[in-house]
Structure 1
């Protein structure tokens, strides 16, 4: 029975696409390695996933193969040699690795490109998420403490204002009696006069003319 031929078209399912990409990429690199070994050929492969993750394979040195390719096609003559020296292979390599690292972090945090990761790589992703979570928790705790301190300050101000209102109310209630004076010569005999005693209590005194 003939094997059913799989149509070559874009895979709609994202998970299935990621799994297929991982398997076929490994198969492609394996074939390139076999071709290099069997035929003593210099081979370089550069692959970008849909999430811009970089994968590359070189039978010797990727930089040397690219330079050889530039010399072969005459591209190198169009580039200023001083500029090429300033960039340097080391700087380009560091920049490339940094871009790849940041791209991988974003893809992994978004849940992409996880299906094809090894256990060691998954542990690194887990550590990255834990560091992110620790940072988020720290910031959240700081925000909560700031909010609590703000509320305490606001409460203290309200209590202070409330105390001032109480004192003002008490003074307004006492003022009519404190300003009132009584003299026995100004009132007729047996006059009932209200006044404040030494303890600030309102009492009634009967004044009797002698």
Structure 2
């Protein structure tokens, strides 16, 4: 059975540009793939541990760091949750990530999530020819697919602000590190820069989401 992991990074739960378009994507995908499993991970309402002293010590592991049994209860809970997140990510066949752009980057909770799933030995490893993905990523039995839905007040995909498109370019780079080469983007962009065209911009992005969801 195919599993789609739907990751949202917005403090609101509805009526935002990124969530409106991503919800349309999920609705269309569900209609086209009624037997697939869709798992929604709302980062603002989930337990997403940040890298702190406890987790950094855990990353060391024996012989340089403490064993799991030596951790205190709080550190153990963080380590367990981090493993749950990475296992959920690895188990997904397809991933949809939706976020707004704030100050040219995505919300910090999304960075915390990426830190949780980019784990040496679980999602990538060192190899003779550099870094490569593991466990269901490209180069193994199956390859994951990612769609990134990004909303921004300015146009970032091209034009004068293109070099500031850190959010999408960072996500793309991280997924490439993990061996995921099938990465597609939907931009809901320029709704502030071009207020008179805001509805047209949203409608165009929603239509793009519908068309992509049908074949994703």
Pairwise TM-score range, normalised by the shorter structure:
under 0.3
Greater RCO structure (CA 8 Å; 6+ sep): 2
Larger-gyration structure (1/2): 1
Q: Which structure is higher in helix share? A: 1
Q: Which structure is higher in strand share? A: 2
Q: TM-score, normalization: structure 1? A: 0.23
Q: TM-score, normalization: structure 2? A: 0.22
